[in-house]
């Protein structure tokens, strides 16, 4: 049965939703799954298509039916079709039922697929009428498509099943199937009682017949061994065939070979042949007279002990005439005994070990292949005749087979032991368990793939982050280098500018000093008021050099009136000239020329 509890790896639900998990989660290569999940409104109704395939009684698989159209089926429909196919395919292979029966019942895969899609695990559970009916078919293990009455009865039931399932599809309910299953169970229960009674009567009848066949074979073996390839008078051969063989058969059947009558009858048979065959009895005439005188009486005596009716009057006439001729020494007509067949093993019937028989008793065997196979039930072993009694599933005799022939047929594979029946419930359980393992494996693989993808994504993100960090670090380094280069360049520019300023300052200082040095007495300058430390700023004052004190580096200036004496140092005047706070008025042109010459000499000197 469907397992009641099962935990599926990867977080899938546990039974009774194992089938639900299979319908939802399993993926089988090459099945027509939808590329994307369709909406409920977009999923087509597949019941009419399943109905059509059932009406045509097709042997195709449901998944093949889904492949025929351009419709987009849901994952649940595809997996329901696959599960129904798997169950019925296993049922076809392992049920142990006849090929014709299993082929026709396997077409219920279309009904089963519909029910699995609608009801999930309930479709193959104990309460399902389809499940219970299929499970009850184990009672038909011995059914064969032999064309007999029992075979036709089952085929009529299967014809009715076609109409019942057709009605189920049309009405979209299993109620017609439930009524069919109840009628079926009632019929099977009545049949089981009839089969038991039939088999009991058959066994009693066959045991009696087996004892008769055994007596016949032993009697023929005794007669056949005694006759051999001899030549005997026709009258003797006639008496043995028509009277004595029957007497031997009767006495063996009634009392067995170990009885006194059986031993006496066998001994008298040997004496009849000994007396009648000149090659045997001519060598001992005395014994011939002794046996010949008593042979007729002994034959009559044994006959009367075995049979109620006396031996017919003319039955011994041929024997008596032959014995008279043999006693007189008159030649008698002889004919070869021919065409008398028997089995020598019945002279000492083999014993079959009961344990060897018990291994096979009550078991099913099969002869032939496919739809032509014949199923045989080892109903009984007939000890007297050493024969196997075969019956069919209805308790009807199929035939007899000698034990030796049975052993040989088994050894050659002409008859094969039928494997134990595999109930539909076991098929469902086995199939669901196998698919559950597949689902477990797929879930584990999906989880591993998901973890791998997540790990790969994390790795890519980490690599991107590292790359981004490196890019940022490189960009920062480049920016730092650029900033450093710009700073260095700015510093260099400032240094050059400062150097240029220093140079220009130096040049201006040199020019100014040269101008001061060239300033002669009476030369005029214009000086800013701040240089003269006046309280209030005013226009530059014009001063005339009055005195130059070279020893002290002082310059004395006066205004136009020769008043307001103002003293300045050479360095102070140079500094004022450089800063633009003073200028030499009387020799500005000379100053410019002097400045140009000084700058020129300085540049030449630097180069």
Residues of the chain with pLDDT > 90: what percent? 13
Give 519-530 pLDDT, tens digit per residue.
888 888 888 877
Would you give the end-to-end CA distance of the chain in angstroms? 111
Question: Cβ of 110: how many Cβ atoms within 10 Å?
Answer: 28
pLDDT tops 60 at residue 232:
yes
Question: Which phi and psi (to 5°) does residue 541 adopt?
Answer: -90, 140
Q: Give 454's contacts (C-beta < 8 A, 6+ positions apart).
A: none
The per-residue pLDDT for 159 is 93
Give 506-554 pLDDT, tens digit per residue.
888 888 888 888 888 888 888 887 777 655 566 788 888 888 888 888 8
Give 393-450 pLDDT, tens digit per residue.
778 888 899 999 999 999 998 998 887 777 888 888 888 888 888 888 888 888 888 8
Q: What is the 3-state secondary structure (H, E, C) of 100-123?
A: HHHHHHHHHHHHHHHHHHHHHHHH
Long-range contacts of 526-533 (CB under 8 A, 24+ apart): 526/582, 526/583, 526/585, 527/557, 527/566, 527/568, 527/576, 527/581, 527/582, 528/576, 528/581, 528/582, 530/581, 531/568, 531/572, 531/576, 531/581, 531/582, 532/566
Number of H helices, E strands in the chain: 20, 12
pLDDT tops 70 at residue 589:
no
The per-residue pLDDT for 13 is 37
Helices (H), 120-148: 129-135
Query: Would you state the structure tokens that stand for residue 91, as one six-digit string?
Result: 């049922």
| Average pLDDT of the residues in 478-487 | 84
Report the predicted TM-score, pTM, of the whole model to 2 decimal places. 0.60
Q: Which CATH class is domain 512-585?
A: mainly beta
Asked whether 214 and 403 are in contact (CB, 8 A), the reply is: no
| Residue 6: pLDDT band with limits 50, 70, 90 | very low
Q: Give 87's contacts (C-beta < 8 A, 6+ positions apart).
A: 109, 112, 124, 427, 428, 431
Helix H or strand E segment including 507 = helix 424-518
**How is 188-203 classified by DSSP, letter by letter?**
HHHHHHHHHHHHHHHH
| Residue 312: pLDDT band with limits 50, 70, 90 | confident
| Residue 56: pLDDT band with limits 50, 70, 90 | very high
The per-residue pLDDT for 27 is 86
pLDDT tops 50 at residue 580:
yes
Lowest-confidence pick of 55-69, 113-127, 394-408, 575-589: 575-589
| Average pLDDT of the residues in 20-24 | 84
DSSP 3-state percent helix, strand, coil across the chain (nearest 5): 65, 10, 25
The per-residue pLDDT for 16 is 57
Q: In this predicted model, which residue has the larger pLDDT, 598 or 330?
A: 330
Lowest-confidence pick of 32-41, 74-83, 397-406: 32-41
Long-range contacts of 326-334 (CB under 8 A, 24+ apart): 326/275, 326/276, 326/278, 326/281, 326/288, 326/292, 327/288, 327/289, 327/292, 332/233, 332/276, 332/278, 333/233, 333/234, 334/231, 334/232, 334/233, 334/278
Q: In this predicted model, which residue has the larger pLDDT, 40 or 64?
A: 64
- The domain spans of the chain are 16-172, 229-339, 357-417, 512-585
The per-residue pLDDT for 195 is 79
pLDDT tops 60 at residue 119:
yes
Give 247-277 pLDDT, tens digit per residue.
899 988 888 888 888 889 889 888 888 888 8
Sign of CA dihedral 174, 177, 179, 185: negative
The per-residue pLDDT for 14 is 37
pLDDT tops 70 at residue 605:
no
The residue among 324, 241, 308, 242 whose CA lies nearest residue 275 is 324
Give 340-372 pLDDT, tens digit per residue.
788 888 888 878 888 989 998 988 888 888 767
- 3 state DSSP class of 538: coil
The per-residue pLDDT for 5 is 32
Q: What is the overall mean pLDDT for the chain? A: 83
CA–CA distance, 314 with 321 (Å, rounded to integer):
11
Give 144-191 pLDDT, tens digit per residue.
787 777 788 889 999 999 999 999 999 999 999 999 999 999 988 888
Question: Which phi and psi (to 5°) does residue 562 adopt?
Answer: 80, 15
């Amino acid at each position: 049965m469907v397992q009641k509890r099962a935990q599926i790896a990867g977080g899938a639900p546990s039974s009774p939703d194992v089938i639900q998990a299979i319908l939802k989660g399993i993926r089988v290569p090459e099945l027509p799954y939808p590329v994307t999940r369709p909406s409920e409104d977009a999923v087509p109704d597949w019941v009419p298509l399943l109905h059509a395939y059932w009406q045509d009684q097709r042997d195709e698989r449901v998944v093949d039916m889904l492949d025929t159209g351009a419709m987009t089926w849901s994952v649940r429909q595809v997996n329901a079709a696959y599960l129904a196919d798997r169950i019925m395919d296993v049922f076809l292979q392992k049920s142990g039922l006849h090929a014709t029966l299993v082929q026709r019942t396997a077409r219920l895969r279309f009904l089963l697929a519909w029910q699995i899609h609608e009801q999930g695990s309930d479709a193959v559970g104990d309460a399902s009428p389809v499940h219970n009916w299929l499970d009850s078919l184990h009672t038909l293990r011995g059914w064969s498509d032999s064309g007999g009455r029992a075979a036709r009865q089952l085929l009529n039931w299967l014809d009715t099943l076609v109409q019942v399932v057709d009605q189920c599809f049309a009405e979209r309910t299993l109620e017609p199937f439930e009524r069919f299953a109840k009628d079926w169970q009632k019929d099977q229960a009545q049949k089981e009682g009839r089969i038991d009674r039939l088999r009991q009567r058959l066994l009693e009848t066959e045991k009696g017949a087996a004892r008769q066949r055994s007596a016949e074979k032993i009697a023929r073996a005794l007669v056949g061994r005694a006759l051999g390839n001899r030549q005997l008078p026709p009258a003797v051969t006639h008496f043995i065939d028509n009277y004595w063989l029957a007497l031997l058969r009767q006495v063996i059947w009634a009392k067995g070979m170990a009885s006194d009558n059986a031993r006496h009858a066998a001994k008298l048979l040997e004496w009849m042949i000994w007396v009648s065959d000149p090659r045997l009895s001519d060598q001992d005439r005395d014994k011939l007279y002794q046996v010949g005188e008593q042979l007729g009486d002994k034959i009559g005596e044994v006959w009367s002990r075995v049979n109620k009716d006396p031996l017919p009057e003319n039955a011994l006439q041929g024997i008596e005439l032959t014995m008279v001729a043999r006693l007189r020494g008159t030649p008698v007509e002889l004919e070869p005994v021919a065409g008398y067949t028997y089995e020598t093993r019945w002279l000492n019937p083999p014993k079959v070990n009961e344990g060897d028989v018990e291994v096979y008793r009550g078991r099913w065997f099969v002869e032939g292949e496919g739809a032509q196979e014949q199923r045989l039930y080892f109903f009984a072993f007939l000890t007297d005749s050493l024969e196997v009694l075969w019956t069919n599933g209805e308790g009807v005799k199929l035939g007899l087979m000698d034990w030796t022939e049975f052993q040989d047929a088994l050894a050659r594979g002409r008859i094969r032991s039928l494997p134990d029946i595999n109930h539909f419930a076991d098929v469902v359980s086995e199939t669901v368990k196998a698919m559950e393992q597949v689902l477990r494996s797929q879930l584990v693989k999906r989880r591993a793939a998901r973890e791998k993808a997540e790990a790969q994504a994390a790795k890519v993100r980490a690599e991107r982050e590292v790359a981004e960090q490196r890019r940022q670090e490189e960009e920062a380094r480049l920016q730092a280098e650029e900033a450093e280069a710009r700073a260095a360049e700015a510093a260099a520019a400032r240094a050059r500018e400062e150097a240029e300023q220093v140079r220009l300052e130096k040049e201006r200082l040199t020019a100014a000093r040269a101008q001061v040095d060239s300033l002669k007495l009476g030369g005029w300058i214009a000086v800013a008021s701040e240089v003269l430390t006046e309280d209030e700023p005013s226009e530059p004052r014009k001063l005339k050099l009055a005195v130059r004190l070279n020893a002290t580096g002082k310059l004395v200036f006066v205004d136009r009136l020769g008043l307001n004496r103002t003293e300045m140092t050479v360095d102070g005047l140079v500094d004022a000239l450089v800063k633009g706070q003073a200028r030499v008025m009387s020799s500005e042109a000379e100053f410019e020329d002097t400045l140009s010459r000084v700058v020129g000499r300085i540049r030449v000197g630097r180069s």
